[in-house]
Amino acid sequence: MEKIEMEIECPSCKGTGVYTGIGEHDGAAVVCYRCNGTGKYHYSYTYIPFTKRRKRKNIKRVYLSSYGYCIAPHEIDFDKIGKIDLSKEGVSYEEFIKGKKPKHIEQFGCPMLADQSACHDIKGFTDICHDKDHNDGWVSMITHCKYYPNKANCWVRFNKGVI
């Protein structure tokens, strides 16, 4: 274990030594409780330096995400989705250790639920999601999108990286 210690700008008062919150008005301030008015804070952190990725026991498969579902590396019958053989999704732990990354489990939801920021990175991808002719503009819940029942088509567009 190693320890790092340093003087840093107080994160509570941003180095001013005084604090204003919901109780202080019209130019009033109180002495910052964290730095006692000094503007500086003694930061101390104990850590273990990284040398290599450690292995875990009893891990069979690795998935990109569980998408809010309880998952296990075997077939599961999901309510409203159906059976998904999760032993065929993700990657084996050995493959993961060697650098292989798992892919999305597309049956769990559309690309917007799985990786919304990546959807926004694809030019024009989200335009279809809020198309006024089909969704009356922006949908309040992604699962209410009129395209959601045909999310496989959205995954095709997502995986190609184009609309």
Give the pLDDT confidence of 7-41 residue by residue, as tens digits.
999 999 999 999 998 889 999 999 999 999 999 99
Residues 81 and 32 in one domain: no
Q: According to the model, what pLDDT value does residue 163 have? A: 55
Q: Which residues contact 128 (CB under 8 A, 6 or more apart)?
A: 134, 147, 154, 157, 163
Residues 38 and 72 in one domain: no
Residue 5 vs residues 21, 36, 78: alpha-carbon distances, Å: 29, 19, 50
- The count of domains in the chain is 3
Residues 59 and 86 in one domain: yes
* Section 51-72 average pLDDT: 94
Buried b (16+ CB within 10 A) or exposed e, 97-115: eeeeebebbbbbbbbbbbe
Report the share of the chain in percent with pLDDT over 70: 94
Alpha-carbon dihedral 33, 38, 39, 40, rounded to 10 degrees: -100
* Per-residue confidence band for 43, with pLDDT thresholds at 50, 70 and 90: very high
Give this prediction's pTM: 0.68
Residues 81 and 116 in one domain: no
Residues 137 and 125 in one domain: yes
- Domain containing 74 equals 53-108
